[in-house]
Structure 1
C-alpha cells in the first residue's frame, strides 16, 4: 500500500492548483529543459545515424572494402591469387583493377585525376559504383573504344559532357623505370559518375583492358579489390586473406583512406551525447530547486501526514514521485518532439535551405549534399532512460530533507 499511496499523493502535489507561483515556474522550466535536452539528443543522434547510413550506402558501397596491391606492378600471376581470395568465406567477391594517375586536358583547363581500370562485369560484384553512372552509360562501356567515365565534378570543371573528347597525359616509364615524356591519348567521355563528395572531383574509370594497353602492362594488373561481408571488420579480414596468399602484396582497407569519416561520426555522436546529458543534468537541478521549495511550501501537509502515522519512507517516496513525474513528463514530451523532427529532418533542412538560400552541406566537401536522418528507437529509449535516471537522482536530497521535518516544530511555527 505504501507505493501506490506515495504515488497518489505525489501526483496530487504536482497537480495542485494552490501552489507558489515561483515553484510552478521552476517546475515548468525544469520540464521544458528536460524535454528540449531529450529532443536535441534524439535529433542529433538521428543525424549521426543518417551520416553513418549514407557512409555505408554511398562511400563504402562504391569503394573496395579492401585491396591487395602488387608490391612491384604489374602483377602478372594474379588469376590463381584471385581464386584463392574468393575461397575465403568472409570475402563476398573480388575483381582485378589497374590504377594510375592521369592529367586530363580540355582547352586551357587541366585536371589531375585518379584513373581506375576495371572489368565492367566483375566490378558490379565488388562495388555499387555502376548504379551512380548516369543514363546507364555503364552498360555501354567497352574496351577498345577509347572510352572514359568521369566524375561529375571533373566534367563540370573541364566543361565537357557525354560524347566529348579530351586529352589525357599518362606517366611513361622505360624498361629501366626512368620517366620519359608523358604519353598522350585521346578519350571520349562515355558517361558521368554522380556520387557526391570528393570522389566526383578526382576520379575516372576506363575499361581494364584499355588501362593495361595504355600502361603497356600486358595481362598484368595493379591489384585485386575485394568486398567483404562485414565492412567494419575489413582490416582484420584483409589481413586474414593476405596470410593465405602465396605472394607478397600490400594489404589495404577502406579505413586507411576513409576511416576518418567513420571515426569523426562516432566522435561527434559521443560528444553530442555527453554534452546533451549535461544539458539534461542542468534541467534536473531545477527539479532539486522545485522540490526544495515544494518541501517548504508543503511543510504543513507533511506534518499532518506524519501525525497521521506516515513514516519516513512514505514521505521520501512522495517527493521522489513528485520529482520523477516531472522528469517522466519532460522525457515523454522531448521524445515525442525529437522523434517527430528526426523523422522529417531532411525535408525540414531542405525547406530551411530554400528559405535562406544557402545549403548546409556542400557536395564538393562532404560525401552528401543533404542532411540525412535515421531514427533508431533504441536511441530514444536510451535517452529517455538517461533523463529519467537523472531526474530520479535529483529527487534524493529534497526527499531526504522532507522526511527529516519534525511535525511539532512545523505546526508550532504555523
Structure 2
C-alpha cells in the first residue's frame, strides 16, 4: 500500500528509538496531558448535566411548570382541565389553589406555601406520589383537614404522620378579644421527601379544604399544567389562552425558577471555559515537544532537502507527527472521558463505602448524578483536535525554513 513520504517519516518520528527517548517522552507526555484534559472536561460536563437533570426532574416535577389563573375563582374546573389537556403541548392538568401562611407545632413556627390539590389529578402533573415517605396523597379528603408536609418542614416543626399542626393565615378577624389572626388545625397524613429546597417550603391539602380557608367553596384558583417541552412553555400557554375567555392568564416556571436554571447554565458555561483552557495548555505542549524534535532533526531535515525534499514536504512531515500526537491524545481522552462518565457514580459510591464517608449529604441528591451528552463529547473532541493541530503549525513552518548549509555546518 502506497504511503506518502511525508506521512511515513512523520509517523516514524513518533516512535521511540534509543537515542530519541527524551524526544519521544516529550511527545508521550503531551499526548497524556491532552488525554487527561479531554477526559476531565467530558466527565465534569456529564456530572453537571446530571445535576441539571435532577434539578429539572425534582424541582420542576414539584412546582408548577405552567399555571392557568383566572381573575375570579374557577367554578367548573373539570371542564377547564379537559380543555387544557386537549390543547397541543399539554400533557396533563390538575386543579390547584394556594394559601400562604405560618405552620406551627411544638413551639416551632415556619412559613409555608400550602397548595390545595385533587389527589386523583395531582399524580398526573407532579412527581409527589413517588416521593412519599409516610402516608399517601389519597389520605387527603374533602373535610378531613389533612395535610402533607415536606420532610424538612416536618423536621423543623417536630411532627410526623398522625400529629397536628396549626396554620396561621395572614388574615385578621374581629372578636370580643380584639383583632386576632385566623387559625386552622390540620392533621399530618403524609410526609414527602424530594431532596430539594421544596421539602422545607411546600405543604399540600385537599382543594376543598383550601377553598374553605380562602372562602371560595369548592372552586379553585387555577389549573396546573404539565407540558411536553419545558422550553416551549410560553408558546403552549399562548395556544391554550387563545381558546379561553379573556379573564384567564398564565404563569410558568421561567418566572418562578428561571433564575436558578440560568445560574446553572452560566456555571456550566464558565466551567467549560476554564477546563477548556486546561485542554488548550495540554494541546500547546505539543509546540514545545515539536520544537525540540525539529532542533534534534536538523541534520535529517538538511539531508532530505539536499535529496530534493521541498519546504512544503518538510512542513508536512512535522504536521503529520504533531497531528498524530494530537489525534492519539484526543481519541484516548474521549474514550477515557466516556468511560468515567458512565462509571463515576459507581466509583463515588464505592469510595463512600470504602472510606465510610457521605460526600453528598449537603446536596439535594444522595449520589453523584451523571448524564453523558454526545453533543458535549463531540465538541470537546473536535475542539481538542483542532487546538492540537493549530499547535503543530508553528514548529512545522520553522522546520520548513531550515537551510541545509546552516544545518550541516557543524555536523
Return the TM-score normalized by structure 1: 0.90
Q: Where in structure 2 are the equivalents of 1:68-83 lying within 5 Å?
A: 68-71=68-71, 73-76=72-75, 78-83=77-82
Per-residue deviation, residues 95-153 of structure 1 (Å, max 9, x unmatched) = 21110013222121111211001001111222222111125612333222221111000
What's the offset of the Cα at 1:180? 5.9
**Of Structure 1 and Structure 2, which has the larger fraction of its residues in strand?**
2
Partner of 1:23: 23
Shift of 1:393: 0.6
C-alpha distance in 2, partners of 1:157/1:328?
56
Aligned-partner Cα distance in 2 for 1:351–1:197: 24
Report the equivalent of 1:318.
317
The residue correspondences of 1:259-278 to structure 2 (distance < 5 A) are 259-278=258-277
The 1:34/1:356 distance shift into structure 2, 3 A limit, reads farther
Distance, in Å, in 1 between the alignment partners of 2:15 and 2:90 is 62
Match of residue 397 from structure 1: 394
2:95 touches 2:223 (CA, 8 Å); kept in 1?
Answer: yes
2:383 match: 386
SS in 1 for 2:161: coil
Say whether the 8 Å CA contact 1:2–1:314 is kept in structure 2.
no
Using the TM superposition, give the Cα deviation of residue 314 of structure 1 relative to its aligned residue in structure 2, in angstroms.
Answer: 2.2
RMSD (Å), alpha carbons: 2.5
Corresponding residue number in structure 2 for 1:14: 14
Give a deviation string over 1:229-275, Cα, whole Å, max 9, x none: 11121133223323432132442111112122322222122222222
Q: Distance in 1 between matches of 2:344 and 2:213?
A: 48
Structure 2: runs of 5+ lacking an equivalent: none
Partner of 2:333: 334
Question: What is the SS of the residue equivalent to 1:95?
Answer: strand
SS in 2 for 1:222: strand
Aligned length in residues = 407
Corresponding residue of 1:101 = 100
SS in 1 for 2:396: helix
In 2, Cα distance between equivalents of 1:3 and 1:141: 77
- Is the Cα contact below 8 Å between 2:135 and 2:191 reproduced in 1? no
Question: What is the rounded CA distance, in whole Å, between the counterparts of 1:256 and 1:190 in structure 2?
Answer: 31
Give the deviation of 1:18 after TM superposition. 3.7
Secondary structure of the residue that 1:85 maps to in structure 2? helix
Q: Within 1, Cα distance between the matches of 2:387 and 2:359?
A: 37
In 2, Cα distance between equivalents of 1:122 and 1:23: 70
After alignment, is 374-383 or 32-41 more displaced?
374-383
Provide the rounded CA distance (Å) in 1 between the counterparts of 2:356 and 2:41: 25
CA distance, structure 1, for counterparts of residue 255 and residue 352 of structure 2:
34
Deviates more, 1:368-377 or 1:350-359: 350-359
Secondary structure of the 1:213 match is helix
Segments of 5+ residues of structure 1 without an aligned counterpart are: none
Shift, 1:303, TM fit? 1.8
CA contact (8 A) 2:98 2:115 kept: yes
Q: Does 1:370 align with 2:367?
A: yes
Aligned pairs for 1:102-121 (under 5 A) are 102-121=101-120
How far is the alpha carbon of 1:181 from its aligned partner? 2.9
The reply to whether residue 43 of structure 1 matches residue 43 of structure 2 is yes
Contact 2:302 2:404 survives alignment (8 Å): yes
